[in-house]
């Protein structure tokens, strides 16, 4: 065994040292692996970033009520009477001012994207201080809170970053109404940063919503309280709502870009086939280039297995180098990159590409598969190079 180890080590060292003889072909394999990994990671980082933006917005101790059958906040509705009924549901926490409930409105306004100068939908959320308090990690990073009953709004950090015209102190016109930006807020990078917030009652007036809302949030002790709330909803005929934790709602919304990850795998798998063809060519060239050396070693008494292992290690090494280059490129160019896309309510969600160690492992695994397959068949050939080639060699 130690004999095979020393044989294989010697062959591996020789193969690696002979790489400069095949520099361009080897670099081509490294480059192809790098491109495949970088593209895969870009798609995965996009899906991961979007998912994280959505999922981190949700709270387990916030019950989220939407009209039954509504896929997103935009389609939901809740009358004042229904909000009152929800306030009486069991399990909802209270303070000295009453139940911790936040009825909210969610309307769409237009904004101009900085990157394309195209108009895109932005959500304008109507809520009260109670609703603001339910958002974990909420901080005003500039300016102040909007004054209830006025046409003031505060703008999420993501909107400020990606859209024109929302700077602090600026006035902005949506349809017939002009609003004033009085504050900028952050919620730790989650989806709420892609929103504008204003007083719910002002939005009811300006958008002719009467006394109705769209969704209701309520503070609960834990997700276990949902059972009692569900029973209450079923027993109360005036309520046509379903309830889930806010985190469950956003987890579902976060899956809407899952297709990006699937698309990334499909694209990079197709590209991997191309890279594989190139890598196979590289490795067959390597075996051909080293055939005299392989045959000489076999004549001396080195085993076929050592030739096989040497070639496999060379292929895997090139693929791993490629994957590291690709991962580094993906990290430099994509990690933290800001983007926005349509979310579940047909509004723009601003999010950052997010590369995690789990994604890096997926990229490197793909490169290892390329390395393994591209190495296996040439390595098999290397193990079968006739020793007689050593006698036929010519410089």
Q: Catalog residues that contact other proteins under the rule CB under 8 A.
A: 2-3, 6-7, 10, 14, 17-18, 292-293, 296-304, 386-388, 390-391, 393-395
> Tokens 């009152």 identify what position?
84
From the CB of 35, what's the least distance to other proteins, in Å?
Answer: 29
In this structure, the number of other CB atoms found within 10 A of the CB of residue 121 comes to 16
Burial 225-258 (b: 16+ CB within 10 A, else e): bbeebbebbeeeeebebbbbbbbbbbbbbbebbe
**Cβ distance to other proteins smaller for residue 93 or 305:** 305
Residues 6+ apart with CB under 8 A from 21: 289
From the CB of 300, what's the least distance to other proteins, in Å?
Answer: 5
DSSP 8-state class, residue 78:
B
**Cβ distance to other proteins smaller for residue 85 or 297:** 297
**Cβ distance to other proteins smaller for residue 70 or 296:** 296
**Cβ distance to other proteins smaller for residue 70 or 304:** 304
From the CB of 303, what's the least distance to other proteins, in Å?
Answer: 6
Residues 6+ apart with CB under 8 A from 63: 91, 92, 217, 218, 219, 220, 225, 226, 229, 243, 244, 245, 246
From the CB of 7, what's the least distance to other proteins, in Å?
Answer: 6
Distance from C-alpha of 197 to C-alpha of 183, rounded to nearest angstrom: 10
- Cβ atoms of 43 and 264 within 8 Å: the answer is yes
| H or E element that contains 377 | helix 357-384
Torsions phi, psi for 8 (to 5 deg): -65, -40
- What tokens were used for 267? 């694209």
**Cβ distance to other proteins smaller for residue 128 or 304:** 304
**Cβ distance to other proteins smaller for residue 268 or 306:** 306
Distance from C-alpha of 347 to C-alpha of 59, rounded to nearest angstrom: 21
From the CB of 291, what's the least distance to other proteins, in Å?
Answer: 11
Residues 6+ apart with CB under 8 A from 17: none
**Cβ distance to other proteins smaller for residue 14 or 337:** 14
**Cβ distance to other proteins smaller for residue 291 or 347:** 291
DSSP 8-state class, residue 127:
E
- What tokens were used for 289? 């280039």
Alpha carbon separation from 294 to 39, 227, 389 (Å, rounded): 36, 71, 9
**Cβ distance to other proteins smaller for residue 13 or 361:** 13
From the CB of 358, what's the least distance to other proteins, in Å?
Answer: 39
From the CB of 383, what's the least distance to other proteins, in Å?
Answer: 10
From the CB of 4, what's the least distance to other proteins, in Å?
Answer: 10
- Which of 377, 368, 68 shows the shortest CA–CA distance to 244? 68
From the CB of 294, what's the least distance to other proteins, in Å?
Answer: 11
Alpha carbon separation from 113 to 10, 165, 187, 336, 373 (Å, rounded): 59, 10, 21, 18, 45
Distance from C-alpha of 390 to C-alpha of 299, rounded to nearest angstrom: 7
**Cβ distance to other proteins smaller for residue 11 or 107:** 11
From the CB of 305, what's the least distance to other proteins, in Å?
Answer: 9
**Cβ distance to other proteins smaller for residue 23 or 332:** 23
From the CB of 286, what's the least distance to other proteins, in Å?
Answer: 13
């Amino acid at each position: 065994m130690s004999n095979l180890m020393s044989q294989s080590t010697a062959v591996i060292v020789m193969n690696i040292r002979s790489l400069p003889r095949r520099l361009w072909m080897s670099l081509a394999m490294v480059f192809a692996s790098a491109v495949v990994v970088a593209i895969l990671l870009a798609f995965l980082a996009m899906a991961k970033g979007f998912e994280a933006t959505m999922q981190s917005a949700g709270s387990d101790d916030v019950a989220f009520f939407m009209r039954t059958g509504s896929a997103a906040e935009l389609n939901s509705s809740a009358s004042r009477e229904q909000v009152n009924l929800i306030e009486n549901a069991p399990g909802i926490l209270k303070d000295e001012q009453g139940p911790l409930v936040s009825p909210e409105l969610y309307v769409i306004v237009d904004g101009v994207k900085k990157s394309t100068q195209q108009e895109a939908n932005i959500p304008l959320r109507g809520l009260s201080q109670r609703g603001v308090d339910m958002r974990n990690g909420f901080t005003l990073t500039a300016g102040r809170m909007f004054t209830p009953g006025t046409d003031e709004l505060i703008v999420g950090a993501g909107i400020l970053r990606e859209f024109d015209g929302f700077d602090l102190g600026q006035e902005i016109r949506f349809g017939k109404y002009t609003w004033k930006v009085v504050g900028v807020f952050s919620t730790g990078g989650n989806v709420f940063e892609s929103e504008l917030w204003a007083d719910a009652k002002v939005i009811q007036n300006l958008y002719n919503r009467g006394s109705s809302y769209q969704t209701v949030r309520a503070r609960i002790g834990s997700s276990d309280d949902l059972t009692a709330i569900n029973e209450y909803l079923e027993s109360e005929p005036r309520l046509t709502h379903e309830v889930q934790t806010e985190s469950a709602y956003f987890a579902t919304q976060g899956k809407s870009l899952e297709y990006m990850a699937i698309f990334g795998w499909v694209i990079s798998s197709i590209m991997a086939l191309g890279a594989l063809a190139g890598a196979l060519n590289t490795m067959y060239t390597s075996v051909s280039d080293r055939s005299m050396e392989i045959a000489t070693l076999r004549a001396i008494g080195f085993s076929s297995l050592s030739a096989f292992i040497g070639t496999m290690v060379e292929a895997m090494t090139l693929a791993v180098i490629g994957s590291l280059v690709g991962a580094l490129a993906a990290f430099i160019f994509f990690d933290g990159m800001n983007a926005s896309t349509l979310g579940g309510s047909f509004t723009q969600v601003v999010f950052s590409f997010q590369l995690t160690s789990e994604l890096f492992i997926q990229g490197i695994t793909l490169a290892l598969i390329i390395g393994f397959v591209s190495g296996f068949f040439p390595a098999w050939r290397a193990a079968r190079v006739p020793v007689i080639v050593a006698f036929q060699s010519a410089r």
